[in-house]
Structure 1
Amino acid sequence: MLRRRDFLASGLAAAALPALPARAQTGPQPGAVQPLPPGGVPQLPAGFLWGASTSSYQIEGAVKADGRRPSIWDTFSHTPGKIADGTNGDVACDHYNRYADDVELMARLGLQSYRFSIAWPRIVPEGTGQVNAAGLDFYDRLVDKLLSRNILPMACLYHWDLPQALQDRGGWHNRDIANWFADYARAVVGRLGDRVKPWAMLNEPSVHAIFGHGFGNHAPGLTGWPSYVMAQHHQNLAQGVGAAAVRALRSDLKVGTVFSLQPIFPASQQEADIAAAQRFDACWNTINLDPLFHGRYPAPFENVFAQLVKPGDMEAIRVPVDFLGVNYYGPSYIKHDPAAFLAQAGYGALPPGTPTTLLGWPISAQGMVEVLKRLRDSYGNPPVFITENGACYEDPAPANGTVQDPERTEYFRAHLTAAGEAIAQGCALNGYFAWSLLDNFEWAEGERRRFGVVHVDFETQQRTPKSSALYLSQLIRAHRAGVKP
């Protein structure tokens, strides 16, 4: 077993994670990987990190256990008509009680790292004030179990499950939330920072602002342009203030954040659609990137955000990051829509013949290369991990101990091949985390839409690895053994 002090001494390098020591094998020995996975082994560097991601509300369940109080997603999912299939996250994958078995499953698959999020309402149930030791105890157990299996924990402090008590005080519309978040971050890192070194502040702030505070089809269900703008700025501010707070607490951490990034194309070559695509790109991509890396909001909206920016805000937001997490799923095609709240930019038709997932999301592995090249060329080529990448399909029921999901397997193969292409073109990509480890509560879609590489029977909580999980496992072992395409 990797000794804890050796693990802690290794740290997280600014540009990449160190190679992890070989774990006690729970599956085929790496040197015995035969044959190669279908399509060969993508050309990735020796130190490339392999992992999977989840988020707290989507998998943990146990929403009333050990002092946890409601989050905005508890409230939203229990509101009639908000979730497509009427489900909620009360139980989800019951990871809170089954985490040890889930970590053993990760080890059997050969995963080197696990990206998970912390539930703010478990740690500070009222959002501010008293810290709940029992909530921290759960993550203590999870982290220790991961380390015992030589799996690097990568924690995200906020993945959309704001304490409802804070929403009642204005939530992301209240600029005080930046300091509330910093206090919460100190509580978590103060307990776990001796063992967890990579920390992401926020997950996908632009998505949370757009869908939770603009369209209203995610929690907390708010709508409109002013709502979106406030939520976006205050998340950016909290990201910077939180990063500074945890760095002041411990100097040995590697601090980053996670953005959803995608290429934005006009739905036609009409001038109005081209301009709408540029506005949408600003709202989705550069609204996060420009403040973090350049200390300013994108030009189309500088005047809008100037109404909220106070002296010192942009300096606080422009805090250096040790890594950037990129969640990539596919491009968007945008048209001018005078009725759209988001800068009169709405979703347009896809080009004929565009492949899509079950959710209708367009598939383009090359789009991931373009995202990484943009970071290389316009934002200083920061160290990047693909922290989410995956696809939703209509999976069949388990049969003969597995679930056959060849479309998802091909999706991973194409995107990992693209990852190799981006690295060959000088992009600082250091690892890849599949979304998601488990089928889970998929936000407004509920339990009816599945992204996991492991099938979950929500009635029995039985876990069944899909063929995509077996593909990734074989690929990881082949890569670590130095098998060439």
Structure 2
Amino acid sequence: MSFPKDFAWGAATAAYQIEGGAGEDGRGPSIWDTYAHNKKIDLLRNRMNILNGDTGDTACDHYHRYKEDVQHMKEMGLLAYRFSISWSRILPEGRGKVNEKGLKFYSDLVDELIAAGIEPYITLFHWDLPQALQDIGGWLNPEMPDLFGKYVKVVVDALSDRVTYWMTLNEPQCHIIIGHIDGECAPKQRVTDRQGFYLIHSILKAHGKAVRIIRKYAVKKPQIGIAPNPSAYYPSTDRKEDVQAAKKMAFGITSRNFWCSTWWLDPIFLGCYPEDGIHIFGDDFPLEMIKPGDMEMISEPIDFLGCNFYQGTEIRADKSGEPVIVPRKPGFDMTAFKWGVTPQILHYMPNFLYNRYQIPIYITENGLSMADWVSLDGKVHDPQRIDFMQRYLLELKKAIDDGTPVKGYFAWSMMDNYEWSNGYTERFGMIHVDYETQKRTLKDSAYWYHDVIKSNGKSLLIE
């Protein structure tokens, strides 16, 4: 039952969700600071941008408590920790003068992790664009890929003597679609479809630019990837017809839909946008946005594909073999966040993605929100989280047994944190955080995960 040798057992977080220290030591505001501090009622949703008006000003106060948090990671037995860097903590204006105090924070964090025997995995962008860059057009500004590259160069120069693993972007789909097309999170724009494609193209060019910068300037030989959230599907049965239908659904574009994974992954791995999607959008796909050299930069070779997976959609084949969505039955298993419990996606989706793109896979986020709290005995009992993770990891082992090169698993999240537009109302962590006192309490799942890691997955077997 053991997982591969050197499997990266880890947990993940993101800067704005845990760091706090929002106005300290020269950090500039990001679009999420602006969005969270706007307390006006959104008339379309009849609510403030963030539930309860919560902000990330303090969050988990990780900026001041990182040493304590790394010790908790060590106690959990983590071998790897994936965290993101706040662009505006490094470059308060998004460009120009470097904030040395901000850079020192991440350098000290890396040192602390290495001293604890934990491999740092850095994500360079997790949605928190500096507000100063949004003010000049954000990702629609043609300078953005170069500006991102300059920011990446600063980070690489400071940390690549100790850091091997780099991820350029986290979930660019969510950042662009939800934040810029649907207008339901920062920076709260509602652009046209044509502008949407310019945004996609811009952020993918930024990815490619970052890859080139890391390759050229990293001191340690880098391992470079990206961490999107591919749309996830799984077959209703193991019949060949159902499996093929689910695979077809995962990569086919049959409607005006920006979420399909091929918009985001085909350019990176195949060097082109999907023809079926271009055909469906017609004149709204701006061919003129693609300049000479763009696709070559976007498809700069990388070393792995990170995948953030939480829930998926069940698919069966109809009589002609075409995919059909299977509706969820009443009482379908769901998390506190009302996301479906569909562990099969960790069996099938890594397989589908590897077969299409021939790239090693990391599960860079997986977990669930629960309504858990500190019990009268002073402990936090979260049996559903343990059951959830066990189910998903058992399915992931099936993908590995099928021959898919899965290199690691990062639980979301290392600790409870600020859940974006839902503020502090959702608890995804294996460590409980009392946001008033900042007291940390390891949940039962943290100790369970310790045993999983120590046994390299053997403890997942059900007697």
Give the structure-1-normalised TM-score.
0.83
Measured in 2, the distance between the counterparts of 1:180 and 1:438 equals: 32
Match of 2:218 in 1: 250
What is the alpha-carbon distance in structure 2 between the residues aligned to residue 248 and residue 281 of structure 1? 36
Secondary structure of the structure 1 residue equivalent to 2:54: coil
CA–CA distance in structure 2, aligned partners of residues 184 and 76 of structure 1:
23
Give the corresponding residue for 1:69: 28
Partner of 1:50, secondary structure, is strand
Amino acid corresponding to residue 401 of structure 1 in structure 2: G
Please give the residue correspondences for 1:103-122 in structure 2 after superposition, counting only pairs within 5 Å.
103-122=70-89
From 180, 184, 190, the equivalent of 2:151 is: 184
Question: Match of 1:290?
Answer: 266
How far the C-alpha of 1:274 sits from its partner, in A, is 12
RMSD: 2.5
C-alpha change, 1:265 and 1:370, in structure 2 (3 Å) is closer
Q: For the Cα contact (< 8 Å) 2:54–2:423, is it kept in 1? A: yes
Identity of aligned residues (%): 41
Judge which range, 151-160 or 294-303, deviates more. 294-303
**Cα distance in 2 for residues equivalent to 1:348 and 1:173:** 38
- Cα distance in 2 for residues equivalent to 1:169 and 1:369: 43
| 1:357 aligned partner | 335
Q: Which residue, out of 87, 95, 107, partners 1:140?
A: 107
**1:395 pairs with 2:387:** no
Query: Offset at 1:307?
Result: 3.5
Kindly state the Cα deviation for residue 353 of structure 1 after the two structures are TM-superposed.
4.2
| 1:328 aligned residue | 309
* Contact 2:177/2:258, CA 8 A, preserved across alignment: no
Does the alignment pair 1:241 with 2:209? yes
Classify 1:301/1:67 alpha carbon distance in 2 versus 1 (closer, same or farther; 3 Å). Answer: same
Question: 2:300 aligns to what?
Answer: 319
CA distance in 2, matches of 1:200, 1:278: 30
Structure 1 CA distance, aligned partners of 2:68 and 2:25? 20
1:453 pairs with 2:430: yes
1:214 CA drift (Å): 1.4
Count residues with an aligned counterpart: 426
Counterpart of 1:442 in structure 2 is 419
Further displaced range: 225-234 or 431-440: 225-234
Q: Which residue of 2 aligns with 1:205?
A: 172
Deviation at 1:301, TM superposition (A): 3.2
Amino acid at match of 2:84: S
Q: Identify if the C-alpha distance between structure 1 residues 248 and 401 changes in structure 2 by more than 3 Å, giving closer, same or farther.
A: same
Partner of 2:5: 46
Shift of 1:284: 3.6
Q: 1:105 to 1:294 in 2, by over 3 A?
A: same
In structure 2, relative to structure 1, the CA distance for the partners of 1:453 and 1:108 (3 Å cut) is same
Deviation at 1:282, TM superposition (A): 5.9
Separation of aligned partners in 1, 2:79 and 2:218 = 24
2:60 to 81, 84, 93: 93
SS of 1:420's equivalent in the other structure is helix
Contact 1:297–1:305 (Cα < 8 Å) also in 2: no
Equivalence for 1:164: 131
Q: Decide whether the 8 Å contact of 1:455 with 1:463 is kept in 2.
A: yes
Cα offset for 1:248?
1.1
Q: Is the alpha carbon distance of 1:305 and 1:392 closer, same or farther for their aligned partners in structure 2, counting shifts above 3 Å? A: farther
Q: Distance in 2 between matches of 1:484 and 1:91?
A: 36
Deviates more, 1:242-251 or 1:404-413: 242-251
Could you list the structure 1 runs, at least 4 aligned residues long, displaced by more than 6 angstroms after superposition.
Answer: 273-277
2:228 to 255, 259, 263: 259
Change (3 A) 1:353 1:483: closer
| Distance in 2 separating the partners of 1:430 and 1:140 | 25
Once residues 287 and 313 of structure 2 are traced to their aligned partners in structure 1, the CA distance between those partners, rounded to angstroms, is 28
CA distance in 1: counterparts of 2:444 and 2:251, whole angstroms: 43
Deviates more, 1:401-410 or 1:116-125: 401-410
- Name the CA distance, whole Å, in 2 between partners of 1:330 and 1:349: 14
Question: What is the CA deviation profile of residues 147-203 of structure 1, one whole-angstrom value per residue up to 9, with x for unaligned ones?
Answer: 111110110100001000000011111121000000000000100010011111000
Distance 1:222 1:333 in 2: 32
TM-score by length of 2: 0.87
On the 8 A contact 2:233/2:349 being kept in 1, the answer is no
* C-alpha contact 1:214 1:222 (8 A) present in aligned 2: yes
Structure 2 CA distance for partners of 1:403 and 1:280, relative to 1, 3 Å: farther
Aligned ranges for residues 4-15 of structure 1 at < 5 Å? none
Is 1:470 aligned to residue 447 of structure 2?
Answer: yes
Measure, in 1, the Cα distance between the counterparts of 2:369 and 2:265: 27
Q: Equivalents in 1 of 2:91, 2:128: separation in Å?
A: 12
Structure-1 residue corresponding to 2:353: 375
Per the alignment, in what secondary structure is the counterpart of residue 300 of structure 2? coil
Instruction: Work out the CA distance in 1 between the residues paired with 2:336 and 2:459.
Output: 33
Q: Offset at 1:371?
A: 1.1
SS at match of 2:53: coil
**2:404 corresponding residue in structure 1:** 427
Deviation for aligned residue 1:227: 4.2
Q: Is the 8 A contact 1:260 1:326 kept in 2?
A: yes
